[in-house]
């Protein structure tokens, strides 16, 4: 389902971008007067509050920002906070009669720093982007083991359930992780200075500090941790506002935009 949502958003963004190009062609300006816009773009990831509306076990908020330093290159950052309650249950059991092996809550903050490179050739003055990028990310968090059961293959004394573990919850603090992300995405100006963006990400876990008695199964900013792989995937949908700080003329000759007679 996620694949179809992302594909639809990319098609929508390309349609908007084409419409903007047509409007620029009709009202082209003299390039001796117009300059490339440079500045700071700040916004918020829309996917996390939307996810929280449909998932009562999740809450999160992420801010995004990028700053243009050359015609194609941007420095970028994301920082946020996430909290998620998860469980592991026996397979082939419906939700109503599920048998939970353990239930835990993860909460913490993260920051991602890196660069984006715009591969899209804009008409002069436009700042839409089809970009590739990289982030170095880190997260500091805690995990609380809310409850668990003791898995025992000998079911003589408890034929219908497992023996419950310690009745009190246990918190593990001081946990952290670092990883590297590679991403591809798009940003399109919908109206003056407002941008809609989307990206998909592939992450590789570098460090992962765990508690001695309970592993890190979910990391804020990284998502699920797989025992058999250090790779993870993610995505975001953002709405952001561009703050133009100054203009700078291109050193190269700009493409001429045909105008209607």
DSSP 3-state of 26: helix
* Predicted confidence band of residue 19 (pLDDT cuts 50, 70, 90): very low
Q: Residues 6 or more apart from 180 whose CB is under 8 A from it?
A: 134, 135, 136, 137, 203, 204, 206
- In this prediction, residue 164 carries a pLDDT of 54
Per-residue pLDDT at 10 exceeds 70: no
Tokens 């076990």: give the residue. 57
| Lookup: tokens for 90 | 């026996």
* Predicted confidence band of residue 105 (pLDDT cuts 50, 70, 90): very high
Q: Is 221 left (phi over 0), alpha (psi -120 to 50) or beta?
A: left
Per-residue pLDDT at 172 exceeds 50: yes
Class in CATH terms, 2-247: mainly beta
Residue pair 88/100 in contact (Cβ under 8 Å)? The answer is yes
* Predicted confidence band of residue 30 (pLDDT cuts 50, 70, 90): very low
Looking at residue 227, the DSSP 8-state letter turns out to be: T
Per-residue pLDDT at 107 exceeds 70: yes
Per-residue pLDDT at 177 exceeds 90: yes
- In tens, the pLDDT along 196-226 reads 999 999 999 999 999 988 899 999 999 999 8
Rounded average pLDDT over 10-27: 44
pTM of the model: 0.77
| Lookup: tokens for 105 | 């809550």
| Lookup: tokens for 78 | 């994301």
CB atoms < 10 A from the CB of 155, how many? 10
| Lookup: tokens for 133 | 């990028």
CB atoms < 10 A from the CB of 27, how many? 9
DSSP 3-state of 96: coil
* Predicted confidence band of residue 160 (pLDDT cuts 50, 70, 90): low
Percent of the chain with pLDDT over 70: 70
Per-residue pLDDT at 121 exceeds 80: yes
């Amino acid at each position: 389902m996620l694949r179809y949502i992302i594909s639809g958003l990319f098609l929508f963004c390309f349609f908007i971008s084409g419409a903007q190009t047509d409007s620029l062609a009709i009202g082209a300006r003299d390039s001796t007067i117009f300059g490339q816009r440079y500045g700071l773009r700040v916004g918020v990831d829309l996917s996390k509050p939307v996810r929280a509306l449909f998932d009562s076990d999740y809450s999160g908020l992420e801010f995004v920002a990028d700053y243009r330093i050359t015609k194609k290159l941007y420095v970028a950052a994301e920082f946020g906070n996430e909290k998620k309650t998860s469980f592991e249950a026996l397979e082939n059991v419906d939700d109503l009669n599920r048998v939970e092996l353990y239930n835990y809550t993860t909460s913490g903050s993260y920051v991602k720093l890196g660069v984006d490179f715009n591969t899209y050739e804009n008409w002069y003055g436009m700042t839409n982007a089809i970009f590739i990028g990289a982030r170095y990310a880190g997260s500091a968090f805690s995990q609380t083991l809310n409850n668990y059961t003791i898995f025992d293959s000998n079911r003589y004394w408890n034929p219908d359930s497992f023996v419950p573990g310690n009745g009190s919850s246990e918190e593990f603090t001081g946990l952290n992780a670092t990883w590297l992300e590679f991403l591809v995405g798009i940003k399109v100006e919908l109206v003056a200075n407002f941008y809609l963006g989307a990206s998909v990400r592939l992450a590789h876990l570098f460090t992962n500090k765990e508690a001695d008695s309970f592993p890190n199964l979910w990391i804020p900013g990284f998502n699920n941790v797989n025992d058999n792989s250090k790779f993870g995937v993610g995505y975001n949908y953002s709405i952001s506002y561009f703050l133009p700080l100054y203009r700078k003329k291109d050193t190269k000759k700009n493409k001429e935009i045909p105008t209607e007679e």
